[in-house]
Amino acid sequence: MSISTLILAAGKGTRMKSDKSKVLHEILGYPLVWYPAMIGKSIGPEIIGIIGHGREQVGPYLNSLGIKPVIQDPPQGTGHAVQVALDMLRKSTADDILIIPGDMPLIRKESIAHLIDMFKPSGAQMGILTARLDNPFGYGRIVRNENGFVTSIVEEIDASDEIKAIDEVNTSVYIVNRDFLVNAVSRIDNNNAKGEYYLTDIVKMAKGVIGAQTQEADEANGINSRDQLAYAALVMQQRINLRHMQEGVSIKSPANTWISPESRIKQDTEIWPGVHIMGKSLIGDNCRIMPNAWIKNSGIGSGCIIGHGAVIEGATVLDNVKIEPYKKL
């Protein structure tokens, strides 16, 4: 089953209060849209990015990642975002289309794989990634029938008290049969209070919709404000640091250590508080990275000691080298 990815990145992000497009705000040195883009690249080579606000910035960035941008102007809802990509979708040879918002960096590859694995043998025309939240207020609720299939997504404003009691919510991540998607989004209308075209309207058109739950509730978080950006960065920091510790790296103060998603560290290396390891960096085994060191896009050999406050960018440090405190390379 071949899959193409559609990333929805046209939103303005008014609450960010920024001249920069929302999806270009960064977590650990990478724009928000980079995270779903990497998921898409892990699934297949064809990725389409829907852009709108800030397209002068977002378009070139997506091009640098090998993603084809399509302009949505003016934005008229998620359904309209897919409509503007219809020509490209019709030409696609993919069987199915994975749809991911560009402002949801916490979605895990494992959750997407789970969604695809459930969707493939189901015979359904659509799959929805869902999450269970202690406080689902504001999210669209997932309504299932007695067989477990999703029958509708009910938005908060339209929900009865019974529906509001449902704690399973829509993450806005979908996998949809391409032929069905092309046909269905051509038929949705904007006959609603906001006058927008909602992608969720296609749920009731589908012959079978499955729901697959995320591993963590945080995966459902979209980024719409600076505080949400900071929280997502904290979650990502914790995930990355935990992974390194599980692989044999000693991190003295995980809350005060920042490691990019593309950096790699070998076992028995010690990371002291305040360290930043950014970009694509590789740290060898049995190193000691002292407090407040900054390492970016660099290779550090095995058995090295990087003195506190050292700054290393775009450099290679050989094995068993000691870098003096505050040294710049």
Phi, psi of 137 (to 5 degrees): -55, 135
Q: Is 75 helix (H, G, I), strand (E, B) or coil?
A: coil
Give the per-residue pLDDT at 76: 87
Strand 3-9 to strand 316-317: parallel, antiparallel, or no bridges (unpaired)? unpaired
For the 3-220 domain, the top CATH level (class) is alpha beta
Please list the active-site residues: 15
Would you say the pTM of this structure is higher than 0.75? Answer: yes
* pLDDT value of residue 123: 92
pLDDT confidence of residue 1: 62
Q: What is the mean pLDDT of each run of 10 residues along the chain (329 residues)?
A: 92 87 95 96 94 91 94 89 93 95 96 96 96 93 93 89 95 96 93 84 93 94 94 97 98 97 98 98 98 98 98 97 96
Class of domain 247-323: mainly beta
What does the angle CA 16 – CA 142 – CA 239 come to, to the nearest 5 degrees? 50
Report domain extents, the chain.
3-220, 247-323
| 3-220 and 247-323 agree in CATH topology | no
And the tokens for 193?
A: 């209070």
Beta carbons within 10 angstroms of residue 230's beta carbon: 11
Q: What pLDDT, on a 0 to 100 scale, did the predictor assign at position 228? A: 96
